[in-house]
Structure formats: structure tokens, C-alpha cells
Amino acid sequence: MQLNTYMDHTLLKPNATEADIRRICDEAMRHDFKTVSINSCWTKFAAEVLGGSAVGITTCIGFPLGACSTAAKVAEARQAVSDGTTEIDMVLNVGKLLGGDDDYCTGDIAAVVEAAQGHPVKVILECCLLDDDQVVRACMCAMSGGASFVKTSTGFSTGGATVHDVALMRRTVGDRCRIKAAGGIHTREDALAMIEAGADRIGSSASIAICS
């Protein structure tokens, strides 16, 4: 299986420099990855580096906690679109979900989807902080809010993607939403297991090793 087109080549470290972002953009073009996944301050620069290529840009919004206001997420998403992003990964407000406020979560997602102006929005559920019933509820919020994907993890919390969570997400969303697995995926075997469980996209900083 050719895995390169599944890959969001990821660099979200707070100490990433312009040279680092240029490097991952160059790597993504060289390996024909689907997108680079970066923090929002780098979107405009990445768009300049990737201009004319087939590699897209995934801009992360409300990252990594998801606990900022909806207005802040909307502003960040609008700026990302203006700067040239092609996709958006937003973090669910996990605290609101755990508190039972699914309507808030759905509205938060819907507002970012509107701000994305037709660009795919992936909702990061942070499954390591949720039980199975909460993962299902989070998936329902994402679908109700118009998201294109549900995503397992930021990679910055207590755990990353698991086959169990990906399979549960697939059973929940069916063919109504796509799934991105991210966090702790370092090998080809890891990626294939996630795809077998139902993932349509893989987010990893180890994309080159995975596809080698």
C-alpha cells in the first residue's frame, strides 16, 4: 500500500523555526504527502513555500487544548483561510463535553466550519481523555456541526491514537465522516493498523519513516 497520500506530515512543536517549517514543506513535496500539519502562525509562510505543488496545508486551530473561546477559534480559522490553508484541524472543547454541554461543542464546531469557508475541518476529540460513550458523543457533535473528519488526538495529551478508538469512531460515523488517526504513530505497521481499523488519514512527524 502506498501510504504517502494518507499522510499529514506534522510539525507542531512550540520551538519550530522557519527553517524547520521549510524543511517539512520540502519533505512533503519530495514524498508527495497529502498535507503539512502546522501551527497557524506558519500558514502564510508554508503557502509560499508550497505554492504550485499538490501538497496541502493543515492548520491547527485552538491547539492543543481546545479551551479557548469560540470567537478565538473562528478568528484563527478565518486568518488561516486568508493565509492559504487548505484544511483545518480544530480541537474539541473537551471540558464542555465532559460537563455534558454537547450543544456548546456542536456550536463551537459549526462556527469553525462556517469560518473555514468550505475547507475540510477535522475535529480533534482527544480520545485519551474520554471514555467510549464520550467518544461517541463527540463524534455526534462533530457530525452535527458539519465537520469533514473526526480525529483521535493532538499528540500533546496523555495518549495518542489507538486501534480501539479508531474502530469505535468508524462504527459511530459510518460513511458520514472521515477519520484521522494521530499521536504516537511512528511505524508503517502502526499506520497500517490504523487504516485497517478505519482511518482515512494519518498524522505523524514520522511520515518519512512510515512510508520508507
E strands in 85-183: 87-91, 121-124, 149-151, 178-182
51, three cell numbers? 505554492
User: Exactly one of 89, 108, 165, 190 is catalytic; which is it?
Assistant: 89
Structural domains present in the chain? 4-211 (3.20.20.70)
Q: Which of 8, 151, 165, 190 is catalytic?
A: 151
Rounded to two decimals, the pTM is 0.97
Q: What is the pLDDT of residues 77-130, one digit of tens each?
A: 999 999 999 999 999 999 999 999 999 999 999 999 999 999 999 999 999 999
Q: Please, which residues bridge with residue 121 across strands?
A: 88
Query: How do the pLDDT tens digits run along the chain, 212 residues long?
Result: 899 999 999 999 999 999 999 999 999 999 999 999 999 999 999 999 999 999 999 999 999 999 999 999 999 999 999 999 999 999 999 999 999 999 999 999 999 999 999 999 999 999 999 999 999 999 999 999 999 999 999 999 999 999 999 999 999 999 999 999 999 999 999 999 999 999 999 999 999 999 99
Catalytic hit among 34, 96, 122, 180? 180
Task: Mark whether 89 is an active-site residue.
Answer: yes
Residue written as grid cell 463527540: 138
Q: Give catalytic status of residue 180 as yes or no.
A: yes
44 a catalytic residue = no
Q: Beta strands 178-182 and 201-204: pairing type? A: parallel
